[in-house]
Chains A and B, each alone.
Chain A
Amino acid sequence: MTAFPLKFRQTADGDVLFCDDAGGFFKSDDAFLSRYAHDQFTADDDAFLLRNGHAFEEVGDLAYSGFEYRFASRLYAPGPLDYIILVPTLRCNLACGYCQVSRVNENTPGFDWSNQTLEAVLSFLGTITAPKIKIEFQGGEPTLRLDILSTVRDFCRSRFERCEFVVCTNLQDVSDEVWSFLSLTDVYVSTSLDGDVSTHELQRTFKSARTAQFVENLDAAIARLGNGKVSALPTIDPRRPPEPKSVIEAYTSRGMNSIYLRPVNYQGFARKRYDARASSSAWNAYHSSFIDELVEFNFTAEVPAEEYYFVHCLRRILRAGHNGHVDLRNPNIVGHGYVVIDHDGKIYPTDEARMVSRVGQFDLSMGDVFTGMSMATVDALNEEAANNFHPDCVHCTYQAYCGIDLVDDLSRYGRIDLPKDQTDFCQRHLALFDKIFAMIYSDDPKIRKSLAIWAGVPSFDASIARCHQ
């Protein structure tokens, strides 16, 4: 029998968590660790490891190929380009203190697509070979250019078999024409509700009349379009976050039961105002308390709720092939499955790359719609985009579940070669995975109930949390 390599980490309760490269895991103790280190497995150890997919008898047997498959399907391979983020204008009718997307005032000229840009964007979309497409309109406030949104939609519907359009709007001033567009069957709304209403006012609207106007529009959108077509994100300032309870109440009372907490992003104009660089510990503490509050909520709630990213990470631990989120992939190949087209027609691999470029740190653009894509920069980036062989990540217990975010590293530190454990990305994910494993190994019925809901099963079976003595 040969065991696959195990990585290990002491847990808060004094046990040792072991994980393998295919994402298999179990808990044991120092005695087992010592037997592992000294190559002194007992017959019991052998049987346990073999039964649970941590070992094989012969190269090519089912245990071996099963491991190979689970390892391989955790790797992300980009599909064809079928998701485009469009920024038709940088102008916005709000001036949020943390604005992540770099905006200009509503009346500033020169930050909209020109007619030539629009035409070039349509030609670019025309070269896409996938049968379906997802277009996300960002800004600025994209509804300020409803004419462009309509033109793009008409073009896509004539060009692709299936289309989906997401409008990322602040829902602050919604004209009748905008309502008509948002009501179309293939249009979805993504907006911001910063935690609860008072935090929203503090961070975004500043005046109570403006706040009331937004809340009215949000509730009208849910009523008119249905909550399946409206999603909202709370941007949280970790230094003065809203009470988790009031965030859960603000969202679930509107039928929005998937809440995706976002920390203020250290990019764009946000960096000038907030010190987000050292905020990961504050964020981790807040996020953890938010999950605890959700567990309480779900124990009695008729309709349960989730924190989107926490559930994503939980499922990445439990399952292979769960690569649906651009923020957590390995290797994190950018510039293939989706791209961003900025207000000036430049193409970027991600929205964050657009902002890094805008503040002048690095030019991460990959060509423009006038002259075409150029892959040199993203190719160079993608060569470093795997955690499998990274000298820090290879020792990490959570490597199989984790990803890599080079643009985030560039944005925060101006380099990608900082020791990983000093990065915000690593610190946030270590804390997240620690939290999830503590919950997986908990016998608290409240926690087990939420885990079952979030894992999508009737009951969270205790045998998933394997232990070996």
Chain B
Amino acid sequence: MIDLRLKIDPLPIVEPLVIRLRNEPQNYQTEHDAVLVDTEGTRLEYDYNGFSFGLHRQDDENFDGDVILALPGQRIAHRLIRSKSPHNTFLVTEQCDQLCVMCSQPPKKHHADLFSQFAVAASLAPLNATIGISGGEPLLHKERLFSMVETVASTRPDIRFHILSNGQHFVTEDIARLVAMGTERILWGIPIYAADRLTHDRIVGKDGAFQNLQRGLGILIKAGSSIELRTVVMQQNKDRLSDLANFLFTRLSCIDVWAIMQMERIGYGRMNWATSFHDSSTDFTQIAKAIDMSAARGISIALYNFPLCSVPPQYREFALSTISDWKQKYLDICERCGSRAACGGFFEWYSHKEGFAGLGAL
């Protein structure tokens, strides 16, 4: 597992600070850049606008181009952007208005507003980067989120966002702004668990959520937004996948992709694993049917977080390697597998004892 936190020498700051790390002085481009001046064992010393700043590394890691966030009084900096990785996500809030049974990031009451810092960090990202925005529910702070996107769009039009939202908080008045922000700039990742109110609302722990979700999706559609619908498949909804496939074809053909996802065993997902995890390696029937119904009718469909060997051969082309590098692992059985390079592997917190029963090296 890649640690997303770095040990630093405490900085004399009173406000959160965003710094981009550069190895070579000629790469100094903005006031946010710190240039490496010395390496002594595990300690890297940077020059940050005339101040000395020390960072401690574990291996031979190269931080050139990475963007970190330092908080007042803390010896830990957060690695917001790893320049060599395609998986960079800002956790913009931990507040949420849903309580989903499989949530990997259970909500907290407190919110620290770091949107200004995130805007700076995004503007320092590598060319053409896509930045994930996650929570909590980012749209609980819609105004701040939208201004952050607008700020970045004005200075870095090449940057794109993949925003995970429960789709509960769009209003008709947002349409003009969504269009102005650029429908290609943001891919909205919106969860939908079933085509019926009862099942969906029970899974997300909120009455009326399905109704709100339909309204929210209607607004995104009118704006012409790019949409990725996300369905974690669980014991609670696996038998309703084909109804959902039909719902998406008739109502939501305009989506960019429908992602059927495996569970992540952390947070509520860990707590509810026994009652929620669906072992798709032993019963793929409902997922296969959803793929057959969707792909034939022109809906782009993909499997996220499915190890390749858990998927029947004729459906493997739909399984994408989607687990972020920093929380990805492989098992002992993967040692002798010929398909490892194409496979996303497992979440760091996957437990094979309680996991897929039908795996094997390919």
Contacts and interface: CB of A to CB of B under 8 A. Distances in A.
A155 interface: no
B293 A463 contact: yes
A62 B296 contact: no
A67 B250 CA distance: 7
Contacts of A377: none
A63 B246 CA distance: 12
A455 B246 CA distance: 17
B314 interface: yes
B297 A319 contact: yes
Contacts of A321: 298
Contacts of B339: none
Given A73-B253, A318-B297, A322-B298, A61 B218 contact: yes
Interface in B210-263: 214, 217-218, 221-222, 242, 246, 249-254
Interface centre among B246, B250, B252, B291, by most chain A C-beta atoms within 10 angstroms, is: B250
A110 interface: no
B253 A52 contact: no
18 contacts: A62-B218, A63-B251, A65-B222, A66-B250, A69-B221, A69-B253, A70-B253, A318-B297, A319-B297, A320-B298, A455-B296, A457-B295, A458-B288, A458-B291, A460-B292, A461-B293, A463-B242, A463-B293
A464 B297 contact: yes
B218 A461 contact: no
B53 interface: no
A53 interface: yes
B295 A456 contact: yes
Contacts of A162: none
Contacts of B298: 315, 318-322
Main secondary structure of the interface of B (DSSP, over half): helix
Contact of A457 (B218, B252, B291): B291
B246 A52 contact: yes
Nearest to B214: A62
B146 interface: no
A456 B293 CA distance: 11
B268 interface: no
Interface in A62-86: 62-63, 65-67, 69-70, 73
B253 A65 contact: no
A67 to B, nearest CB: 8
B289 interface: yes
Contacts of B295: 455-457
A63 B250 contact: yes
B93 to A, nearest CB: 28
B330 interface: no
A460 B294 CA distance: 11
A461 B289 CA distance: 7
A6 to B, nearest CB: 15
Interface in A287-329: 315, 318-322
Nearest to B289: A461
Given A65-B218, A319-B297, A321-B298, A461 B292 contact: yes
Contacts of B48: none
Contacts, number: 77
B315 interface: yes
Contacts of B315: 458
A65 B221 contact: yes
Interface string A429-469: 00000000000000000000000100111111101100000
A51 interface: yes
B231 to A, nearest CB: 16
A61 B214 CA distance: 8
Contacts of B289: 461, 463
A59 to B, nearest CB: 12
B289 to A, nearest CB: 6
A142 interface: no
A24 interface: yes
Contacts of A463: 242, 246, 289, 293
Nearest to B293: A461
Nearest to A464: B296
Interface string A13-28: 0000000000010000
B252 A66 contact: yes
Given A62-B252, A461-B289, A456 B296 contact: yes
A457 B253 CA distance: 17
B253 A62 contact: no
A448 B119 CA distance: 53
Contacts of A318: 296-298
Interface string B136-157: 0000000000000000000000
A66 to B, nearest CB: 4
A109 interface: no
A60 interface: yes
A459 B292 contact: yes
Contacts of A457: 291-292, 295-296
Interface in A1-58: 24, 51-53
A71 to B, nearest CB: 10
Nearest to B315: A458
Contacts of A319: 297-298
B273 to A, nearest CB: 29
A469 B252 CA distance: 26
A157 B296 CA distance: 38
B88 to A, nearest CB: 30
A459 B288 contact: yes
A315 B214 CA distance: 28
Contacts of B254: 66, 69, 73
Interface centre among B221, B242, B295, B296, by most chain A C-beta atoms within 10 angstroms, is: B296
B218 A60 contact: yes
